[in-house]
Every structure is written in structure tokens, then in C-alpha cells.
Amino acid sequence: MIRSAVVSDVPVIHAMIRELAEYEKVPHEARATEAQLREALFGERPAAFAHLALTPEGEAVGFSLWFLSFSTWRGVHGIYLEDLYVRPGVRGGGHGKALLRELARICVERGYERLEWSVLKWNEPTIAFYEALGARPQDEWSVYRLTDGALAELGGA
């Protein structure tokens, strides 16, 4: 079962973000606090949205966290999937596919024309999963990022 996250889900989402950071071998980079997540997801002006994958007993075993993007070429919104995570013990049970299916459903329902995300190049099982669903890599683009000191310097801090 997939459902939209509610405020009381913030601790489990936070825990799964930490688990994802461990899986991706960068636990020190996951610095978000529960308070920051609560504000981003449920504050006065939410910046992001989340869904949970639940077992039949109601246990959260996966999540997606996403936000709206906008295509100037297509003139409509899309969804950028920031995180998709399913706990190791239940992988292969359809939870990841169900989370992606829900985001695709939202895109179709709202007239969004893109569902995009990034994946680490070394994560071959996940790449195979995405490609089996029909997703294709966008090899002509490279992701760039400014953070920490470089961001502060460019921003005039």
C-alpha cells in the first residue's frame, strides 16, 4: 500500500534517509534534521512531498520524497524524485515499483510531462530496476552542484 506521508511519519522518513545515506556510503552527508523535514514537508509552504510504502500490517518499509520541477521547453511542471528507498529486507516485493507508479499516476493526473531522478553510476541493481520499468538514462546531461564553501563564495558570503 502507498499513501501520502503525514506529520507523524517524519521520524520514520528521517530514519530511512539515514539508512539510504549508509547504503550510498555517505552517512556524513545526511545532515537533515527531523525539524527540517517537518518544515519542508508540512510547513506553511511545503517545498517537498513524500509517500510511504507500507506492509499489510501498516509498517513503513519504503518512501519517496519529491518536489515539483518545471520544463521551460514543455511549459509544464514535472516531478523530480529526490529519494526512493526501500528497506533491504523487503526489496523485490514491489514496493519501489508501487512508489514510482504513484508518482507516475500523479504526473498523468495533473498533466505533468516528466518524472526524473538521479542514480549513482555504481548502483547497478537499481539501474536495472529503473530500466526494466522503461526509464532511460539522460547521458547527454551532466549534473553540477554548488555546496558549502563554493556556494557561499559565489553567493557573496
Catalytic residues: 130
**In this structure, is the dihedral angle defined by the CA atoms of residues 24, 28, 33 and 36, taken in order, positive or negative?**
negative
Q: Are the C-beta atoms of residues 55 and 62 closer than 8 Å to each other?
A: no
By CB neighbour count within 10 A (0-12 exposed, 13-18 middle, 19+ buried), where does 57 fall? exposed
